[in-house]
A and B are shown apart, each in its own frame.
Chain A
Amino acid sequence: MEPGIIVANNLVKRYGDFTAVDSISFTVARGECFGILGPNGAGKTTTIRMISCVSPVTAGDLSVDGMAVQKQPRRIKAILGVVPQEDNLDPDLSVRQNLRAYSRYFNMPADIARERIDEVLELMQLTGKQKDRIDALSGGLKRRLTIARGLINEPKILVLDEPTTGLDPQARHLVWQKLRLLGQQGVTMLLTTHYMEEAARLCDRVIILHRGKIIAEGDPTEMVERFAGRDVIEVLVEGDERAAVLRQLEGVDGVTVEEVADLLYLYVRGDNGFDVSALNLDEERVVQRRANLEDVFLKLTGRGIEEDQ
């Protein structure tokens, strides 16, 4: 089997006393969409900055397409397309000029660049906007342009740091659609996100980072099955009533209960399910839904808000 296009082995990143990435190992296969999930400050961005050769590795091995990041950063960067979290387009250049300026950093000759710019503009549905100023673009258009810019060098790997953060729902769906299209074309994608829906829709495989460590890894659907089960029932119940409900649930097979503030979360596994009417509660206080990646995420990383991050 192929060793994988990105291979991290005991990868560590420290800033002084703070360990941002704490000895993580993972492999990204060629052609897959690989997601790095985690709360803010978990080490997602730091990890992809090391892969993009802009942040030096403290310890461990990290190779991209068979090249060590410490040895051949320029050659690695030549096969990457990076879409950063923050927009850093050139506001004084037009849409097309932004792409031209970027193509030059890859030493693309003018005629090839011209063709390639037309292609990526077309792909991201920006052809009609090519003469526009950056200030005139909406958030969604800017993000599409940033993705187009990342594709200018026909990268082997597209690295996306929270590609849809801050976008409205329409713009987000359009970006997802474009990324799925790229995935079908065989582009390897590495993305960070804290939108579970995004990871579930786009990623073939994900890792969940928490405080610099990998706490879970796998196929999103399989992870939901493994950590959250099939269905989730949210029950709004407090006080004595809660105690009663909890007693009723004791020893019920295939149901795990989690108490969070005024809510009870019942994770239901197996095919038998659980008949919620047995609890004798008002309908509006009970929500039954399919388990999703968000449940996995919250279960594993905790529901409390991470302090100081």
Chain B
Amino acid sequence: MSVQVASMPRIQIPNVSLLAFRVWQRNRDVYLNIWRAEIVWPLVDPLITLIALGIGLGDFVELPVEQSYVEFIAPGLLAAFPMWIAAGETGWGSFFRMENQRTFDAIVATPATIDDVVTGEILWAATRACISVVYILVLATAFGAVDSVLAIFVLPIAFLPGLMFGSISLCWTSMARSVSQLNYFFAAFITPQFWLSGVFFPLSELPGWVQTVAWFTPAKHAVDIYRGLVAGEVEVGHLGDVAWMIVVTGIFYCIAVFAMRRRLVR
């Protein structure tokens, strides 16, 4: 009798194939069936924010630079709302597919692996982030908050923070035992980034140590790049932000794969 290894080693390079794209297609099909319900939040939230904060509150705000407040927050919103969308997709969305609909079980019964599923889910989260970037770009342009045609490059670049937030959120999802446990992640990680990543006020207003902490928050790097693009002032330093996000995405993607194997391959 030959004896094999007790179980598939969890720490090994992701076994991903083009079937990850099939998972993405499945999510796209569902989205195309229910987009009417899915369009409201990504569209209405930024719109209200632009009106309430950009125009309403904006009149009372004096910025250190010559800029209207709506112009100041627009690039930040391009980062902040898609962050919510991507994290929500691999948060509540993936959890629901995994636990309630057992969609992951159905998929891994085919030639697809759990690694393909994880990859497809994250690719879809990034796609959703880009879709919401389109809405916000249109809204921001309508509010006169876009100064440069370079702003159009936010769209392809937004895929990267989409992957990043999708990966980070899926890591948490892979460990969550119930839907309510997902709330911790959103309350403790996503919401603080929404308010404290330089979206609504320049981080330079805050004490030095807070700025140091802010450097470690993923959203800050997306905000910095978008500010440059929307204002037409791209710097070499933005490459550093891109590199930062690539590294973080890679790390959390691998953790998500290992954690999902641990949870589902039993």
Contacts and interface: CB of A to CB of B under 8 A. Distances in A.
Contacts of A90: 26, 30, 101, 103, 106
Contacts of A84: 102, 105-106, 109
Contact of B105 (A10, A73, A88): A88
Interface residues of B, number: 32
B34 interface: yes
Interface stretch (B110-118, B147-155, B235-243): B110-118
A238 B93 CA distance: 60
Contacts of B113: 73-74
B111 A55 contact: no
A104 B1 contact: no
Contacts of A82: 109
Interface string A70-92: 10011101101010101111111
Interface in B28-66: 29-30, 33-34
- B interface secondary structure, majority: loop
Most buried by A among B29, B106, B109: B109
Interface stretch (A58-66, A188-196, A256-264, A283-291): A58-66
Of the listed residues B17, B34, B110, the one surrounded by the most CB atoms of chain A closer than 10 A to its CB is B110
Given A9-B1, A59-B3, A70-B4, A101 B26 contact: yes
Nearest to A101: B26
A309 interface: no
B7 A97 contact: no
A101 B102 contact: no
A302 B5 CA distance: 35
Contacts of A87: 102
Nearest to A153: B110
Interface in B215-266: 265-266
Contacts of A59: 1, 3-4, 6
Contacts of A9: 1
A128 B189 CA distance: 48
B25 interface: yes
Nearest to A149: B106
A57 B106 CA distance: 20
Contacts of A54: 105, 108-109, 265
A176 to B, nearest CB: 23
A77 B111 contact: yes
Contacts of B3: 59-60
Given A78-B111, A102-B106, 20 more contacts: A9-B1, A52-B109, A54-B105, A55-B266, A60-B3, A70-B4, A74-B113, A75-B111, A84-B105, A84-B109, A88-B102, A89-B106, A92-B30, A92-B33, A93-B33, A101-B22, A104-B22, A105-B22, A106-B111, A153-B110
12 contacts: A10-B1, A15-B266, A56-B6, A74-B113, A75-B111, A77-B111, A80-B109, A84-B109, A88-B105, A91-B101, A102-B106, A104-B22
Q: Which 6 A-B pairs have the closest CB atoms?
A: A105-B110, A88-B102, A82-B109, A56-B7, A88-B106, A104-B22
Interface of B: 1-8, 17-19, 22, 25-26, 29-30, 33-34, 101-103, 105-113, 265-266
